[in-house]
A and B are shown apart, each in its own frame.
Chain A
Amino acid sequence: MGLLTILKKMKHKEREMRLLMLGLDNAGKTTILKKFNGEDVSTISPTLGFNIKTLEHRGFKLNIWDVGGQKSLRSYWRNYFESTDGLVWVVDSADRLRLEDCRRELSALLLEERLAGATLLVFANKQDLPGALSKDAIREAMALDDIKTHHWCIIGCSAVTGENLLMGVDWLLDDIAARIFTAD
Chain B
Amino acid sequence: MACQLDGEVELSAAVKIPDRLLKRDQERVEAAERRKEVQESQTVTEEKSDYFSRGFNAEKAVIESLLSICSNLDRDKAPRVLEEVTLKIQQLQKFFNDSVVFLTQYELRQAQASLHTLQSTLDEKRDELLPKKKFAFRSRKAETSNSKATPVSTDSSQHSKSDGGTQDARSAELHVADGNIGAEQCGITNVDSQTLTMSAEEIQQRDVLLTHLTNCKVRLLGSPSTLHIKHVRDCEILCGPVSSSIFVDHASGCTFAFPCQQLRTHNTTDTRVYLHVTSRAIVEDCSGVRFAPFNWSYPGIEADFELSGLDKDRNNWTLVDDFNWLAADTHSPNWAILPESERRSSWD
Q: Hey, which bits of chain A sit against chain B, CB under 8 A?
A: 25-26, 42-46, 48, 70-73, 75, 78, 94-97, 99-100, 103-104, 107-108, 111, 126, 128-134, 137-138, 140-141, 143, 160
Contact = CB atoms under 8 A, between A and B. Distances in A.
B170 interface: yes
A73 B285 CA distance: 12
A99 B134 CA distance: 13
B153 to A, nearest CB: 9
Interface of B: 86, 90, 93-94, 96-98, 100, 112, 133, 135, 169-170, 172-173, 175-177, 179-180, 182-186, 205-207, 209, 211, 225-226, 228, 230, 244-245, 247, 261-262, 264, 266, 278-280, 282, 284-285, 309, 311, 321, 323-324, 326
A160 B179 CA distance: 26
B207 A132 contact: yes
Given A100-B173, A141-B172, A48 B184 contact: no
17 contacts: A26-B247, A43-B278, A44-B261, A45-B279, A45-B280, A71-B285, A97-B228, A104-B86, A104-B90, A111-B94, A129-B206, A129-B225, A130-B205, A130-B206, A134-B183, A140-B175, A143-B169
Contact of A108 (B94, B170, B175, B182): B94
Contacts of B279: 42-45
Nearest to B170: A100
B94 A46 contact: no
A163 to B, nearest CB: 15
A131 B180 CA distance: 10
Nearest to B187: A131
Contacts of B172: 140-141, 143
A25 B133 CA distance: 22
Contact of A71 (B97, B98, B284, B321): B284
A151 to B, nearest CB: 21
Contacts, number: 118
A126 B261 CA distance: 15
Given A43-B279, A95-B228, A137-B179, A129 B173 contact: no
Given A103-B173, A130-B186, A130-B207, A70 B97 contact: no
Contacts of B266: 71
Given A99-B173, A129-B225, A108 B93 contact: yes
Contacts of B176: 99, 133, 137-138, 140-141
A26 B230 CA distance: 15
A164 to B, nearest CB: 18
Contacts of B90: 104, 107-108, 111
Contact of B185 (A107, A111, A131, A138): A131
Among A96, A111, A141, chain B packs the most CB atoms within 10 A around the CB of: A96
Contacts of B278: 42-43
Contacts of B185: 96, 131
